[in-house]
């Protein structure tokens, strides 16, 4: 029987109840459960293990929370191919495919191997200062370079050694398909379907009306060079880890050779998630009860 590792956002009010539900169903299925200390403390049926043992023994990781917990689970895996099962006890939950009321079905499907896997691309970012590597990050969602104050920055962009342009802006986002529904979307970037092999480069408040998001193949090497910053800059990966940057620093971004694998229950639809989470309703004339507005003015 597969061993299920659990990574939970223990600050969520529903975390203990959901871990208890998983423990009850897993016990009936004969499925061992393991977790690190804080999560294991939520249920006596979960074996407490170290981070190393969790990664070595778990056949599947259940991430309980929202998208932030999924990003944390991806970072914990650090390139391992252990699949992640996202259980949404958060708010938005683009990446968490299983609702709390679908837990029993999900665990039953996992027990018999009736599951699908989706591969999400991961971006790798290497920070260079004076030609030396001073930072390395993996990002499932995005790599963001932004000003640490209200000052604007100058960022030079090149793709595969070909100079694109220099931007005066508040920052720049390099997003994967998974991250294209996050910060990049809020900055005006497009949504990339999961199988699209590309990065989106979006600007944060560019000081020109002509700048638009740029989509490049994920086989490309993206190079960002920090120009005139006028103050502190910050690089973040998935909004969770990062470092400060100085003028002249470079960030090389490319696709990692190790994707993250998400476990899905058969029948899961990416586009139904978009409709639900983004409140897509289609054209107004297709909605029940729609009537055209009466023409302005009166008639006699």
Cite the residue boundaries of each domain of the chain with CATH code 2.60.200.30: 123-255
Res 21: pLDDT: 94
pLDDT digits (tens, 9 = 90+) for 141-152: 999 999 877 688
pLDDT digits (tens, 9 = 90+) for 26-35: 999 999 999 9
Res 242: pLDDT: 95
pTM: 0.88
User: Measured between alpha carbons, how far is 5 from 19 in angstroms, rounded to an integer?
Assistant: 11
Helices and strands (H and E) in the chain: how many? 7, 20
* HSE-CB for 232 with a 13 A CA cutoff: 6
Location of structure tokens 């679908």? 102
Res 212: pLDDT: 94
Res 296: pLDDT: 64
Q: How far is CA 77 from the centre of its chain?
A: 14
CATH of domain 4-121+259-277: 3.40.50.10330
Res 55: pLDDT: 95
Cite the residue boundaries of each domain of the chain with CATH code 3.40.50.10330: 4-121+259-277
Give the residue numbers marked as catalytic: 67
> What DSSP element (H or E) covers 107?
helix 103-112
Res 299: pLDDT: 53
> What DSSP element (H or E) covers 125?
strand 123-129
Res 94: pLDDT: 80
- CATH among 3.30.360.10, 3.40.50.10860, 2.60.200.30, 3.20.20.70 for 123-255: 2.60.200.30
Res 267: pLDDT: 81
Q: How far is CA 3 from the centre of its chain?
A: 25
Residue spans of the chain under pLDDT 70: 1, 90-92, 150, 284-285, 293-300
Alpha carbon dihedral 164, 168, 174, 178, in 10-degree steps, equals -130
């Amino acid at each position: 029987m597969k061993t299920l590792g659990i990574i939970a956002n223990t600050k969520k009010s529903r975390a203990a109840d959901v871990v208890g539900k998983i423990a009850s169903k897993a016990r009936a299925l004969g499925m061992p459960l393991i977790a690190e200390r804080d999560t294991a403390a939520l249920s006596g049926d979960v074996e407490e293990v170290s981070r190393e043992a969790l990664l070595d023994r778990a056949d599947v990781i259940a991430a309980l929370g929202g998208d932030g917990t999924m990003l944390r689970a991806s970072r914990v895996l650090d390139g391992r191919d252990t699949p992640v099962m996202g259980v949404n006890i958060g708010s938005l939950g683009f990446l968490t495919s299983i609702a709390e009321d679908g837990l029993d079905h999900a665990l039953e499907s996992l027990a018999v191997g009736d599951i699908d896997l989706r591969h999400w691309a991961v971006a790798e970012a290497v920070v260079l200062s004076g030609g030396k590597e001073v930072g390395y990050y993996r990002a499932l969602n995005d790599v963001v370079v932004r000003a640490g104050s209200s000052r604007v920055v100058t960022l030079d962009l090149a793709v595969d050694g070909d100079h694109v342009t220099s931007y005066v802006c508040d920052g720049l986002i390099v997003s994967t398909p998974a991250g294209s529904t996050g910060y990049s979307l809020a900055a005006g970037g497009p949504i990339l379907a999961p199988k699209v092999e590309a990065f989106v480069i979006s600007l944060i408040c560019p000081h020109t009306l002509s700048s638009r998001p740029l989509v490049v193949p994920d086989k490309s090497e993206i190079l960002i060079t920090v120009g005139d910053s006028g103050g502190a800059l910050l690089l973040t990966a998935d909004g969770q880890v990062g470092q400060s940057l100085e003028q002249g620093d470079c960030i090389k971004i490319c696709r990692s050779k190790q994707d993250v694998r998400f476990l899905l229950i058969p029948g899961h639809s990416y586009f139904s998630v978009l409709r639900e989470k983004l409140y897509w309703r289609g054209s107004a004339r297709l909605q029940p009860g729609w009537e055209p507005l009466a023409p302005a003015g009166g008639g006699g």
